[in-house]
Amino acid sequence: MNLAEVKKLIEEFEIRSIDLKYSDLMGNWYHISFPARRLEYVLENGISFDGSSIPGMKSVESGDMVIIPDLETAIIDPFTEFQTLRMLCYICDADTRIGVQKDPRSVAKRAQRFLENTGVADQSFWIPEFEFYLFNEAVINNGKFRAGYHFTSAENKNDLPGGYQDLDGTAVANRKGYHIDVPFDKYANVREEMVNLIEDIGCPIRYHHHEVGLSGQQEIETEMVDFEKITDKMMYIKDIIHNVALENDLTATFMPKPIYDEAGNGMHFHIQLRKNGKNIFFKEGNYADLSEEALYFIGGILQHGRSLTAFTNPSTNSFKRLLPGFEAPVKLFFGLANRSAAIRIPKYVTSFDAKRIEFRTGDGTCNYYLAMSALLMAGLDGIKNKIMPTPENGFGPFDDNVFAWSQEKQDRLKSIPTSLEEALEALKDDYEYLLAGDVFNEELIESWITEKMKEVVAVRNRPHPFEMNLYYNL
């Protein structure tokens, strides 16, 4: 969308306000609004703000930054009371107007430019899978003398909201929620409302359904979309999910493991590279019809898998989902249709155009711009250095259930970290592949580790409610 098209949109819908949004390192959104009549001035000059007030962004002594709107991201805001145009921004230095090293959108832009400069491919296409819970109530308390949480769901007979009596008997128990049908899938229409709004912003949806978790777990999966577009669309999708939930008296969470001993929320990424419009991941006759480039790409992700989790699984809660024996993968190998693998090759995808890989380790607490850029950089490093995944180096392919192997054989496989702190330590030891093409830089990585370690320490220093069961009366 160019300036003329945006102006036409403003006139047609009588828009008087423009809302600009930008992301911090963690993936939190911030916004600032201005009258639509000032659009051309803002496009030329940006809007200044104090970067030192945004966690991890910049130091106090050099805090002046500007946000520059990206016209390509303009949409009509579906949730505001007044007609508002929404746009995403680049965070730029006040003097140069160039996207700063720590701006997540600028990182993704540099990753795309680096991909093109390698000559290997000129596009990457992605399918993200959004898994999330819809709860009726989410009561959270944390203080010196009280700590705890309480989630409820009208779908689960063992988890009903206060005062809800299930008089129609449609709350169920003692079964999994995967693809459960209406009327037991109580929020199918809520998902449909979300999907309609997502498609309205130009992001095609492949399907949506109830997920395994009986207390309102959902999944929405997009079709294959170009990297440059999907990262922005994903920010809008997450916002749509949260807002539609609230409008329906529900609350949405992408936490990897909000409920003990219930299904966790992952975010699987399907990835494909193309050059001149042709899929370079397909070669008939190879294992799973994967080309050498695809295998090298897989090898790069697996080689750097431990440090990648610092970006793809960047919460202390992430590692409560990544437990041995479940579909959430903890071993760094690949295989055809193998749901215990970090990288699965979908068996149902057989055509030249559709052939792709699926990275299954990530979750929705990641910053999409950073996590997906890091995955792209790791895969390209694999192609550059011809890192071929083989059974001998422990990367596979393995098509059987590795958790049925002997413990000695399992121990030969490379494992993902078991905690956020361990993932950050892995990133300290392995980040050179991220620096290629100045996509990431050391200052960003250092800031990421610093900010994330604050979360590690905050959780580590607080008594856990279950510790009361274990130790209170000793």
The catalytic position among 5, 11, 40, 50 is 50
Crossing angle for the helix pair 188-200 and 227-247, to the nearest 10 degrees = 140
Let me know if 129 is a catalytic residue: yes
The sign of the torsion formed by the CA atoms of 167, 169, 170, 175 equals positive
Let me know if 438 is a catalytic residue: no
The catalytic position among 24, 232, 358, 421 is 358
The catalytic position among 105, 110, 304, 360 is 360
The catalytic position among 211, 232, 293, 363 is 211
Let me know if 455 is a catalytic residue: no
The Cα–Cα gap between 134 and 171 comes to 14
The answer to whether residues 308 and 301 touch, using CB atoms and an 8 Å cutoff, is yes
The catalytic position among 24, 77, 103, 129 is 129
Let me know if 268 is a catalytic residue: yes
The catalytic position among 86, 210, 268, 304 is 268
The Cα–Cα gap between 70 and 42 comes to 11
Residue 72: both structure tokens together: 């390509």
The catalytic position among 131, 289, 293, 421 is 131
Let me know if 306 is a catalytic residue: no
Let me know if 430 is a catalytic residue: no
Let me know if 86 is a catalytic residue: no
The catalytic position among 159, 185, 219, 239 is 219
The catalytic position among 339, 412, 460, 464 is 339
The sign of the torsion formed by the CA atoms of 160, 163, 165, 170 equals negative
Let me know if 131 is a catalytic residue: yes
Let me know if 155 is a catalytic residue: no
Q: Distances from the Cα of 17 to the Cαs of 20, 37, 38, 82, 119, in angstroms?
A: 10, 8, 9, 8, 42
Kindly list the catalytic residues: 50, 129, 131, 211, 219, 268, 339, 358, 360
